[in-house]
Amino acid sequence: MKNLVILHLESVSRQRLSAFAPVFPHTLRLMQEAACFDSYMSSATSTVMVLTYLMYANDFELDTSTQFHGARPERNNRNLFEVLQDTGYHADLVCLNGFPARPISLAAWSGELPPIWETNDFPQLFARLDELTDAGPFAIYVWNLITHIEHSLALAPMSQGLTDRVGRACGVADHAVGTIQAMLERKGLLDNTAIVLYGDHGDDCWTHGYKGGMIHGTEPYTDMIATPLAIRDTSLAPAVRNVLASTIDIAPTCLSLLGIDAEPAFPYSGVDLLAGTSPFAYSQNFTAGQPDSPELDIAKTFAITDDTYTLLVSSRGLAMFAHRLDPGNHCNLLHLFTLDGAGRPVLRSFANTTAHFIAAWIANRQSAAHLASAFVRLRDALRARVDAKRDYIVGRGANSDHALDRDCFAKIDPRGHEQFYGTHAPAPATDAAMPAFDFSWKLR
């Protein structure tokens, strides 16, 4: 039987992996040997939610709770590691915890499984992994918390500033990836082990506001949810797979890799990425039953992503971003539009605008038509998902007072509108005053 190792890159987004590429040699080498899902979007912006959604292959697990802390999984599907244990695997979770006085408590790790093993000592961690891989088949979840903003504090005495500290933490995490892969190779286990490497969420270093100081657990902008996912397995050709993938797809894909027929029963479960993909990836920051957090200026937000756009909805309304052109999600494209009576975006008319804007939107109306079509498709799918979560809460007799109001899908989030246009807000133009664009010139 094939073994399984899941390597959890705590707080590592694709942007962070790129920004600190020189300190990630082992991780990048593993990814070169793997099937990499370049359009992977995490299902949540906080670690515990991501872990829960991965283990149970769906993002409804915590939605009946009105608060994040203390929320427990509904067990809509069986825990991935329970399934593996029942199939004959030695299932374990090992964690490098920088705060040994604060043991990890993880409701997603079922009581049917062995206790979480944790340490703050790297040699002990590697010794434990060496021991666990002596007998197979094994399924091991490796959670290295050193790259979490709090746990990286251990590296502060040897760092020069926050950027250096984060980079050093990334280097330490990469060293662990390399050591684990080398251990498997030394023991002749590498080619009989499926290795899944993924990032749980990114860190938004206050680019969308102070948020009470929070840098994750905030709204699911692309910089928070675009994280790495790579699967190294001898049955998979190394390649970049530019298809949408989500956290909830990891468990079904692992079971497929291991040849275990245990398709998740819950209707909103993830898919086996080796057999197909979904047209959208969904993300959220709070449970569906949780209220907004005005004291932190964080709104419960749901996101849907396709190959071009990310659409967010919250009590503030709708925001839409071209996530490849604007990976930081700073320009709410809906500020360029109004919603007509049917709820479709209509490009505003602008006078005295520049050739840049004319070339992007006015002279090529396909841009506006593409956005409008995608908006309707994404809005309808996201609204159906949010409705399903509300029905799920009600169906289980839980408190639905804080479920998102459907009216939120009919308004544009106004935040940033004034700053977006600034003091040079273009005046509305009549069709007769619309600027023309001359295509007769050529680039030289």
* pLDDT tens digits in sequence order for the chain, 444 residues long: 999 999 999 999 999 999 999 999 999 999 999 999 999 999 999 999 999 999 999 999 999 999 888 889 999 999 999 999 999 999 999 999 888 778 888 999 999 999 999 999 999 999 999 999 999 899 999 999 999 999 999 999 999 999 999 999 999 999 999 999 999 999 999 999 999 999 999 999 999 999 999 999 999 999 999 999 999 999 999 999 999 999 999 999 999 999 999 889 999 999 999 998 999 999 999 999 999 999 999 999 999 999 999 999 999 999 999 999 999 999 999 999 999 999 999 999 887 888 999 999 999 889 999 999 999 999 999 999 999 999 999 999 999 999 999 999 999 999 988 888 887 666 665 444 444 545 444 444
Token couple for 56: 């149970």
Rounded Cα distance, 46 and 264, in Å: 23
Closest listed residue to residue 297, CA positions, set 400, 412, 206, 224: 206
Under a CB-based contact definition with an 8 Å cutoff, are residues 173 and 147 in contact? yes
Q: What is the pLDDT of residue 321?
A: 98
Q: What is the pLDDT of residue 434?
A: 46
Angle formed at CA 4 by CA 191 and CA 48, multiple of 5 degrees: 145
Q: Is 310 exposed, middle or buried (0-12, 13-18, 19+ CB in 10 A)?
A: buried
For 364-405, the pLDDT digits (tens) are 889 999 999 999 999 999 999 999 999 999 999 999 999 999
Under a CB-based contact definition with an 8 Å cutoff, are residues 265 and 59 in contact? no
Within 203-346, residue ranges assigned H as helices are 222-225, 250-257
Under a CB-based contact definition with an 8 Å cutoff, are residues 193 and 4 in contact? yes
Rounded Cα distance, 130 and 182, in Å: 11
**Domain range 3-284, its CATH number among 3.90.1150.220, 1.10.3720.10, 3.40.1410.10, 3.40.720.10:** 3.40.720.10
**H helix count then E strand count, the chain:** 11, 14
- DSSP structural state of residue 359: I
- List the end-to-end C-alpha distance of the chain, in Å, as a whole number: 61
Q: What is the pLDDT of residue 432?
A: 41
Q: Is 192 exposed, middle or buried (0-12, 13-18, 19+ CB in 10 A)?
A: middle
Nearest-10 Cα torsion for 371, 377, 378, 384: 160
β-pair partners for 9:
144, 199
For 48-74, the pLDDT digits (tens) are 999 999 999 999 999 999 988 888 999
- DSSP structural state of residue 31: H
Under a CB-based contact definition with an 8 Å cutoff, are residues 119 and 72 in contact? no
- Who's near 125: CB < 8 A, 6+ residues apart? 94, 96, 119, 176
Q: Where are the domains of the chain?
A: 3-284, 308-433
Angle formed at CA 69 by CA 210 and CA 296, multiple of 5 degrees: 20
Q: What is the pLDDT of residue 101?
A: 78
Is the alpha carbon torsion for 243, 249, 250, 251 positive or negative?
Answer: negative
Angle formed at CA 173 by CA 167 and CA 177, multiple of 5 degrees: 135
Residue type, 231: I
